[in-house]
Amino acid sequence: MKSTSAAPPCSFRQWLLHQLLNLKALATMEKERNRRLTRRKMHNYYADAGPLRRELYPRHLEFFAAGATHRERLMLAANRVGKTEGVGGYELALHLTGRYPEWWVGRRFPRAIRAWAAGDTSKTVREILQYKLLGPPGSWGTGLIPGDDIIRTIRAQGIADTLDSVVIRHASGSQSQLVFKSYDQRRESFQGTEQDVIWLDEEPPLDIYTECLLRTMTNQGMVMCTFTPLLGMSDVVLHFLPGGKMEPNLKFRNFEISKSFVVMATWDDAPHLSEDAKRELWASIPPYQRDARSKGIPQLGSGAIYPVPEADIAVAPFQIPPHWPQGFGFDTDSGAGYTAAVWGALDRERQVLYLTDCYKRERAEVAIHVQAMKSRGEWIPGVGDAAALRVTAHDAEQVITLYRRAGLDVMLPDKSVEAGIHDVWEMLSQGRLRVFSHLKAWFEEYRLYRRDDKGFVVKQNDHLMDATRYLVHSGMRRMKTRPAPQAENYRPASSYSPWS
């Protein structure tokens, strides 16, 4: 008996061919879908919903929003938080194409722009910035800038796989131009034409940063910086953080009076980093770089003379026990500069020196300084110097003599700079030098006290540091305890007379 359910051989072949054609069509559609996704990477960032939704990146959004009101912006960012691709590169791609998302509240350019993207070396610019923005060589358009918007790429002369510039289609119909630059080309290469947007990924030298500001000045352009502050309190960081003060969230810039904005992004601001990844990264980072690489806090290890965190030396003020000896060190300018003094008290049992008070004033007469110093205790002995690098030893002695005649018990210190710095560093590292936490002027100098790239101490805003060095290196030998209070009818034995 013949079966009636089996399909004729020709019908099966037709069915199989139909299925294969469907699979091929689906594969083609999937390939095209993937192609479009890879060539429209920019549109996949900061989604409304999902595990990496936009609201989970508040620091990134603060940086974007600040662009509407600030010409200069800095993201001090930890490693792996997305500062290059997700912040600097993403925003630059938006400005180059004019394809802003609906939620965008930062600055918008309704026209094509001229822009630079710069990094520390030509190699890192090619391997990082060029790759992030355009994709790998041979696959231009698979980076942040949509492939359909790339009109033309211009290769750099004599360097394989390296682009000099790119012409990009803007949503307005005109054409934006992006030029790649590197800091190793030196400041002169950053001179010339005005730019609308300059993105500096990794910390630039101050002269290059200043040149970039000039390039964006006449047309109200903007400069964006994204870097991990591995160079410590450098000149560029201090440009954004006068005094080196790090506020809790760095949301302290006044939008109406400041042209610059800075935000800090830590590992906790990057939800794409798992706890396991954070632990692995933490273990691989040298201790002195951990604050910079995990929190975006300028590191102490590069250039800092005393690489000890403030939190390790600051203590709450307390009443000084009367049996603790006290003394002070001071640094005075023989001209019209600053005079500064630091007072200390020594816990002899624990051999810990506490810095308890400080004084700093500019352009005042000797009598004013003396009055301020006496108010801390006329009985306290000290050591001090008169702007040692700018006057002779004889001049310094004459200046100190003025303070002695005014009633201060003060002597010239041993002025050996490196020996004094070593003594202070040794006490700090051993936990034997503590500072009352309310001494803001002292801590401001402390966080800026550094060496330049040639190893010399930077002689700027260092008067309290000099006074501290004098106190530790020479003044501790002169310390004494507070004299016991005397009765009103007390007279020294040498002045006693039975006939009086």
pTM for the structure as a whole:
0.66
Same domain, yes or no: 178 and 239? yes
Establish if 397 belongs to a structural domain: yes
Residue 169 pairs in a beta bridge with 175
Distance separating alpha carbons of residues 364 and 353, to the nearest angstrom: 29
Same domain, yes or no: 113 and 197? yes
Contact 76, 264 (CB under 8 A): yes
Same domain, yes or no: 51 and 83? yes
Residue 252: predicted pLDDT? 40
Establish if 21 belongs to a structural domain: no
Distance separating alpha carbons of residues 59 and 355, to the nearest angstrom: 37
Helices in 248-309 by DSSP H: which ranges? 275-284, 290-295
Establish if 3 belongs to a structural domain: no
Contact 114, 216 (CB under 8 A): no
Residues 6+ away with beta carbon under 8 Å from 379? 409, 480, 482, 483
Distance separating alpha carbons of residues 430 and 100, to the nearest angstrom: 54
Q: Which of these, 144, 140, 142, 112, lies nearest to 43 by C-alpha position?
A: 144
Residues 6+ away with beta carbon under 8 Å from 71? 213, 216, 220, 221, 222, 223, 259, 260
Tokens of 413: 């210190």
Same domain, yes or no: 251 and 394? no
CB atoms closer than 10 angstroms to residue 101: 13
Q: How many residues does the chain have?
A: 500
Residue 283 belongs to what domain range?
44-295
Q: What is the CATH number of the domain that holds 319?
A: 3.30.420.280
Same domain, yes or no: 278 and 378? no
Q: Which of these, 325, 395, 320, 308, lies nearest to 357 by C-alpha position?
A: 320
Same domain, yes or no: 244 and 197? yes
Q: pLDDT tens per residue, the chain (500 residues)?
A: 455 555 555 677 777 776 777 776 666 655 655 554 556 788 889 989 888 788 989 999 999 999 999 999 999 888 888 899 999 999 999 999 999 999 999 999 999 999 999 999 999 999 999 999 999 988 888 899 999 999 999 999 878 889 999 999 999 999 999 999 999 988 888 988 899 999 999 999 999 999 999 999 999 899 999 998 877 777 888 888 876 665 544 444 433 334 789 988 887 777 887 888 878 888 887 776 777 777 777 765 456 788 888 889 999 999 999 999 999 999 887 555 789 999 999 999 999 999 999 999 988 888 889 999 999 999 999 998 865 434 555 566 677 788 888 888 888 887 678 888 999 999 998 999 999 999 999 998 898 888 876 778 888 889 999 999 999 999 999 999 998 876 555 555 444 343 33
Same domain, yes or no: 329 and 427? yes
DSSP H or E segment with residue 158: none
Count of helix runs (H) and strand runs (E) in the chain: 14, 15
Q: Cα–chain-centroid distance for residue 287?
A: 17
Establish if 367 belongs to a structural domain: yes
Same domain, yes or no: 342 and 381? yes
Establish if 319 belongs to a structural domain: yes
Residue 386: predicted pLDDT? 64
Residue 246: predicted pLDDT? 56
Give the Å distances, CA to CA, from 207 to 88, 115, 188, 236, 414. 21, 19, 10, 9, 38
Establish if 212 belongs to a structural domain: yes
Same domain, yes or no: 116 and 91? yes
Establish if 28 belongs to a structural domain: no
CB atoms closer than 10 angstroms to residue 215: 21
Q: Cα–chain-centroid distance for residue 424?
A: 25
Contact 244, 446 (CB under 8 A): no
Same domain, yes or no: 357 and 469? yes
Contact 335, 356 (CB under 8 A): no
Helices 366-374, 393-405: axis angle to 10 degrees equals: 60
Establish if 18 belongs to a structural domain: no
Return the ∠ at Cα 63 (arms to 59 and 68), rounded to 5°. 145
Residue 494: predicted pLDDT? 45
Same domain, yes or no: 245 and 390? no
Among 295, 318, 352, give the residue marking a domain's end. Answer: 295
Among 264, 295, 326, give the residue marking a domain's end. Answer: 295
Residue 254: predicted pLDDT? 37
Distance separating alpha carbons of residues 127 and 135, to the nearest angstrom: 10
Residue 255: predicted pLDDT? 35
Give the Å distances, CA to CA, from 316 to 52, 200, 319, 354. 42, 41, 10, 11
Structural Rg of the chain based on CA atoms: 33
Query: For the chain, how many structural domains are there in total?
Result: 2
Q: What is the CATH number of the domain that holds 201?
A: 3.40.50.300
Beta strands in 132-259, from DSSP E residues, in sequence order? 150-155, 163-169, 175-182, 197-201, 222-227
Q: Which of these, 337, 336, 380, lies nearest to 357 by C-alpha position?
A: 380
Same domain, yes or no: 238 and 371? no
Beta strands in 348-407, from DSSP E residues, in sequence order? 352-362, 382-386
Distance separating alpha carbons of residues 394 and 382, to the nearest angstrom: 19
CB atoms closer than 10 angstroms to residue 7: 10
